[in-house]
Structure 1
Amino acid sequence: MEIFKTDKIYDFMGKRLAFLGFSSILVIASIVLLFTKGLTFGIDFAGGTIIQVKYEQVAPINQIRDTLKQTKYANSSITKFGSDEEVVIRITGSSSDLVNDIGDEMHKILASTGNFEIRRVDMVGAKVGGELREKGIMALSLSLIVILIYLSFRFEWRFALASVFALIHDITIAMGAISLFSIEVNLDILAAILTLLGYSLNDTIIVFDRIREGIQTSKANELAEMINESVSKTLSRTTLTSLTTVFVVATLYFFGGEILNGFSFTLLVGIIIGTYSSIFVAATFLVQLKFSVDDFRAKDAEKLKRQREKEKIRAMYEQGTV
């Protein structure tokens, strides 16, 4: 199935400054949001308690809020969880209360709100939450470093830098969207971000593979012309793959329930931005980094020459002439 004709060449590089300008606006806006509004860390990273409550009737959320306002849990967050009968109470921050049986205490506090049962109590200390946050940042940083090293060996250092710049672009915008919509950052969000790294990198590598192939086979000498050719040929594949993934993730977002909303929202934003960067941004960084087609071809020819010499020596050795 072809959405775009493979024999038609689109002039992506002719509009690269416009794409870079648009991306710069998104990245700067995301950074401003992260520094001003910040991220809303969930229980996993900030420490605290999650209490899942199931009522026999529709959960009286307003009454629960009013009741908790009269206690030390006045700053708790109460949200519907899956069905109208279930709610989740999130008590952020640390806790001296973690040593008490908070489930029994909450049962007494909410006794006047109706018949219910406490289905789950999850507690994370502030120290543990801080350690998880540090390890999450470390995992993200190590992923980018390993990707940079891997791509330097597989392609060329400019390809590697362009890929990492595109990944940072994707992550920054995704984090900006998380901040803008006040999505609670927990281990699920971290998993979504790491998933986006792999997804976006896969798309970028496919485009770069085609660009490298174009450099080796094309008679043209202009990098921009080869990039236009290569990206145009992979356009249908990239679009179809992304649309298929978006449909699945959108289904998770709309029908997966409260527990999957943050995860699926992050993936949805990331896939859209990752697809955009693979087509319009990654190759643009390659041009901005002054990648030389002539130097690449010279190195490739030298590598091929050494390989042929090795094969010739091996053949002579097998024939007993060496």
Structure 2
Amino acid sequence: MQDSAMFFIPDFKGFDFFPHGTRINFMRVKGLSLALSLICMVASLLAMAVLGFNYGVDFKGGTVIEVQSLDGPADIPDLRGKLGELGLGSVQIQAFSEHDVLIRVETQPGGEAEQQAAMHAIIDVLGPGFEQRRVEVVGPAVSGELRRNGILAVFGSLIAIVLYVWVRFDWQFAFGAIVALVHDVLLVAGIFALFQLEFDLSIVAALLTVLGYSVNDTVVVSDRIRENLRRYKKMEINDLINTSINETISRTVLTGATTLAALIALLLFGGDVLFNFSLAMVLGVVIGTYSSVFLAAPLLGYLGVRRDGLASRDAAPAGERAETKKIERVG
């Protein structure tokens, strides 16, 4: 009875979205990828130096007005159209509930009088259907402090990541990681400068997130290279790096693809408020995946990563274990 009552459980096999055992010769294009990355980094620096950033209210100063709709849910597209006709420069509208709306207006030229006039013009356009709840003015001093803190946050994260990679691996791995991370930040920032997309605190948050994502990819590849350095004592370094990248490429591609699926949905359906943040994240994931495979790892071939340091690290614990066993036998 027990045998006849047993349930049949089918043996499902996993589906491979990405082929295993790839033999792509990434190191063959290491010179081309390094040259392309250097050109893009220089172009980004030029765009930031010549064109500058199109700073948002957070970094440029301005007025923040919180209003509540009294006649049902707020019509955000209609509000954008009405406020856009006022010619007040950058106007950001963010709905954080059906009835509550946050309006940010950049600092107006002409001083306090013009700023007050802009605020009254917005309130007049909104009409009696909206109740004013809160007004805050972000002055030049506060916006300058936010800008400095944002820059310090990015550079502080870079330094912390480099120290971590240096301690965990060797200086060659740390150097490759810092080049890749600086490359990622410069390219995303350069694209925003080139196309004059609005740059505010949300973009700084996106850059910090991209740094964490990119270093995660870089550490995975570096860890596999370190394992293979111990495993293949006589393999030529370029072949070893190639093997390591191929062994982790499925993880890299699938992780990037699943992350991009969520970010692209946010980019397409998140609205105007989240568009720039989503775009920075999408660019960062794509560029970060590229730099982990085509920049950070191939740089180790130029830097001459050594096996002797890894061997000495492994030899010490082995010697300690042998000494411990010898003491146990004597005892």
TM-score, normalisation: structure 2: 0.81
Aligned CA distance change for structure 1 residues 117 and 59 (closer, same or farther; 3 Å): farther
Distance of 1:189 and 1:179 partners within structure 2: 12
Q: CA deviation at 1:32?
A: 1.6
The equivalent position to 2:248 in structure 1, one of 214, 234, 253, is 234
Q: What amino acid sits opposite 1:297 in the alignment?
A: R
Distance of 1:162 and 1:287 partners within structure 2: 10
Q: What amino acid sits opposite 1:168 in the alignment?
A: V
The equivalent position to 1:153 in structure 2, one of 148, 159, 167, is 167
Aligned residue for 2:21, secondary structure, equals coil
RMSD after superposition: 3.1
Cα deviation per residue 1:270-299 (whole Å; 9 max; x = unaligned)?
A: 0000011111111122122232xxxx3222
Distance of 1:289 and 1:307 partners within structure 2: 27
Segment drifting more, 179-188 vs 191-200: 179-188
Aligned CA distance change for structure 1 residues 148 and 213 (closer, same or farther; 3 Å): same
Distance of 2:204 and 2:92 partners within structure 1: 22
Q: CA deviation at 1:51?
A: 3.4
Q: CA deviation at 1:141?
A: 1.3
Distance of 1:238 and 1:54 partners within structure 2: 46
**Paired residues, number:** 308
Q: CA deviation at 1:3?
A: 4.2
Q: Does 1:303 align with 2:313?
A: yes
The equivalent position to 2:90 in structure 1, one of 47, 70, 77, is 77
Instruction: Give the share of equivalent positions with the same residue, in percent.
Output: 35
Cα deviation per residue 1:195-245 (whole Å; 9 max; x = unaligned)?
A: 000000000110111111111112543111011111111111110100100
Instruction: State whether residues 26 and 242 of structure 2, in contact with CA within 8 Å, keep that contact through their aligned partners in structure 1.
Output: yes
Aligned CA distance change for structure 1 residues 116 and 214 (closer, same or farther; 3 Å): same
Q: CA deviation at 1:140?
A: 1.3
Instruction: State whether residues 152 and 159 of structure 1, in contact with CA within 8 Å, keep that contact through their aligned partners in structure 2.
Output: yes
Q: CA deviation at 1:186?
A: 1.6
Instruction: State whether residues 81 and 87 of structure 1, in contact with CA within 8 Å, keep that contact through their aligned partners in structure 2.
Output: yes
Q: Which runs of 5+ in 1 are unaligned?
A: 70-74
Distance of 1:255 and 1:239 partners within structure 2: 24
Q: CA deviation at 1:62?
A: 5.8
Q: What residue number does 1:72 align with?
A: none
Q: What amino acid sits opposite 1:92 in the alignment?
A: T
Q: CA deviation at 1:115?
A: 4.6
Cα deviation per residue 1:139-166 (whole Å; 9 max; x = unaligned)?
A: 2112111211111111110000001100
Aligned residue for 1:8, secondary structure, equals coil
Q: Which runs of 5+ in 2 are unaligned?
A: 1-14
For 1:30-69, what aligned pairs fall within 5 Å after superposition?
Answer: 30-51=44-65, 59=78, 64-66=83-85, 68-69=86-87
Aligned CA distance change for structure 1 residues 213 and 138 (closer, same or farther; 3 Å): same
